[in-house]
Amino acid sequence: MKQYFSFIAKRILQSLPTFLLVITLSFFLIRLAPGGPFDQERQLPKEVEANLRAYYDLDKPVYQQYFDYVLGIFQGDLGLSYNYRDFTVSELLIDGLPFSFIIGFYSLILAFVGGVFLGSLAAIRRNSKTDYMAMTVAMFGVAVPNFVLAPILVLIFAIWLRWLPAGGWGEGGFANLALPIFTLGTAYMGSIARLTRGSMIEALGANHINTARAKGLKEHLVVWRHAMKATMIPVVSYLGPATVGIVTGSLVIEIIFGLPGIGRYFIQAALGRDYPLVMGTVVFYSTLIIVFNLLVDILYGFLDPRIRLDS
């Protein structure tokens, strides 16, 4: 147990430099982009613009702005938005978080459950029609990008069949969420299905599985009691990148389907050079990505104790 906690502590310490590197690169890159936060307000007198720059500390040297911003992050202060001047960045992120969380959470559930089911089914019925059909569905999900799949689904289910709305949050019911969730989760469901199939086939050929069968254990017990844990190791390791893809991909999906999530604020902030709001969104998503990858590492160490010994 002590070794396991040491493994977790090392992973946490390794995450901190990554977090600071992301903040640093994002902070300076956005300031290197052409244009500034008040370029659309050139009709204002220079004195007024100077006062605005002073109010938002943009008159300070860039390195001082950077250190002030990093210090503010660790104090829980993400700054004031330039475009939404009655709101702090934290308030805007909290406003959009529930919508983005719901879409991302259910997309991840769809990807995991659907992928494990398809992959397990394909492995158990290897080289059968069921196997080929399951892998065809998986390959379709992997091959078609979500920004291509989204308009196709809208065309079919919203315009031709009129079963589902083309966009908008509505009351947050199934009809409004079905297309965004399916669009976002399909690609990762396909990848998880392929991983599960390969890993399950390997696990089912192991010696201890053959021993369990020789003892007369029923096939479904062989699969779920003995083969599934070994199968989950590569799947769990993939959940980190999958979560990253779903988290970042939700920005695009929210724009396509007109959902009121954090993606709306990020796009508007990027177009308007709203430095604090862009940085706040980057900090928020970076934190989520690092935390999810950390959780995957911890779970991976639990499933395979050899990982802890090597770390």
Q: Is the residue at 179 inside a domain? A: yes
For residue 131, pLDDT beyond 80: yes
For residue 78, give the DSSP letter. -
pLDDT at residue 243 in the model? 80
13-66: per-residue pLDDT in tens? 888 888 899 999 999 988 887 777 776 655 667 777 788 788 888 888 999 999
63-114: per-residue pLDDT in tens? 999 999 999 998 888 988 988 878 899 999 999 888 888 998 999 999 999 9
Domain count, the chain: 1
Q: Is the residue at 83 inside a domain? A: no
Domain range for residue 137? 96-273
Between the alpha carbon of residue 235 and those of residues 192, 216, 221, 231, 309, the distances in Å are: 6, 29, 20, 7, 21
Asked if 289 and 242 count as a contact pair (C-beta separation under 8 A), the reply is no
221-279: per-residue pLDDT in tens? 777 777 787 788 788 878 877 887 787 778 888 888 988 888 888 888 887 888 999 99
Asked if 111 and 189 count as a contact pair (C-beta separation under 8 A), the reply is yes
Q: Is the residue at 43 inside a domain? A: no
Q: Is the residue at 296 inside a domain? A: no
Q: Is the residue at 51 inside a domain? A: no
Question: If DSSP codes are grouped into helix, strand and coil, which group holds residue 73?
Answer: helix
Expressed in angstroms, the distance from the first to the final Cα of the chain is: 15
pLDDT at residue 167 in the model? 87
CATH number of the domain that residue 244 is part of? 1.10.3720.10
Beta-bridged to residue 147, according to DSSP, are none
Q: Is the residue at 215 inside a domain? A: yes
pLDDT at residue 304 in the model? 61
Identify the CA nearest to 130 among candidates 197, 228, 185.
197
Task: Work out the pLDDT band at 190, boundaries 50, 70, 90.
Answer: very high
pLDDT at residue 197 in the model? 92
Structure tokens at 202: 């390997």
Query: What residues contact 209, with CB distance under 8 A and at least 6 apart?
Result: 203, 222, 226, 227
Q: Is the residue at 67 inside a domain? A: no
Task: Work out the pLDDT band at 159, boundaries 50, 70, 90.
Answer: very high
Q: Is the residue at 248 inside a domain? A: yes
What is the spatial distance between Cα 184 and Cα 64, in angstroms, rounded to a whole number? 40
Query: What residues contact 238, with CB distance under 8 A and at least 6 apart?
Result: 191, 192, 195
pLDDT at residue 132 in the model? 93
Beta-bridged to residue 80, according to DSSP, are 88
What is the spatial distance between Cα 250 and Cα 1, in angstroms, rounded to a whole number? 37
pTM of the model: 0.80
